[in-house]
């Protein structure tokens, strides 16, 4: 029977079980939170991003989730600097030109701050003279740091990035640093 685990990855945690970086490194990894043998992450989430990760013991499922060719939708809650106008939102919807080419169209909408959002440690930088806005952004590809590059390209750098959904799996009320079987 296939095992699927949903994990709410905290900020500053590597999306792997071991740190192959510097010897003696104290960076936190998945092994600091999940003690389940033979499950592996289906895709990555940057160290400075938070939210939903799917782990499984099924290699075919892992590949289907992680491989951009399968175009599995991933939804992010993104706190951005400033208030995007219609032109910025429409650019995200149509596709944004990045150094590695045009992104595929995204679904985007302005949202209220997510309910029961856990505090981030350390907190984001706040500038009194510049407001921030939350958007929901759904993409079907997975370029390196794509969401951050997309929001920056339309003039609204990302302050906080939380993956809320992968396919039909949702973060739900899963607390930061905890996991559950799907």
- Best CA proximity match to 2, nearest among 59, 42, 53, 52: 59
46 is catalytic: yes
Instruction: Answer whether 83's CB lies under 8 Å from 131's CB.
Output: yes
**Which is catalytic among the residues 19, 46, 48, 58?**
46
DSSP state letter for 126: -
CA distance 167 to 74: 6
- The b-or-e profile of 127-151 (16+ CB within 10 A means b, else e) is eeeeebbbbbbebeeeeeebbbbbb
Cβ neighbours for 120, distance < 8 A, ≥ 6 positions apart: 11, 50, 160
C-alpha 11, offset from chain centre: 10
- Best CA proximity match to 75, nearest among 135, 11, 116: 135
Residues noted as catalytic:
46
């Amino acid at each position: 029977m296939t095992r699927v685990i949903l994990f709410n990855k905290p900020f500053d945690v590597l999306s792997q079980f071991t740190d192959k970086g510097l010897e003696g490194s104290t960076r936190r990894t998945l092994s600091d939170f999940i003690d389940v043998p033979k499950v592996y992450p289906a895709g990555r989430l940057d160290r400075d991003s938070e939210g939903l990760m799917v782990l499984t013991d099924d290699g075919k499922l892992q590949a289907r989730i992680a491989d951009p060719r399968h175009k599995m939708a991933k939804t992010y809650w993104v706190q951005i600097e400033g208030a995007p106008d219609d032109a910025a939102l429409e650019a995200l919807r149509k596709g944004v030109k990045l150094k590695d080419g045009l992104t595929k169209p995204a679904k985007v909408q302005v949202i209220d701050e997510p309910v029961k959002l856990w505090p981030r440690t350390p907190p984001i930088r706040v500038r009194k003279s510049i407001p921030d806005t939350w958007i929901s952004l759904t993409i079907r590809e997975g370029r390196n740091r794509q969401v951050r590059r997309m929001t920056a390209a339309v003039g609204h750098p990302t302050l906080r990035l939380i993956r809320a959904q992968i396919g039909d799996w949702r973060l739900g009320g899963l607390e930061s640093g905890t996991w559950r079987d799907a």
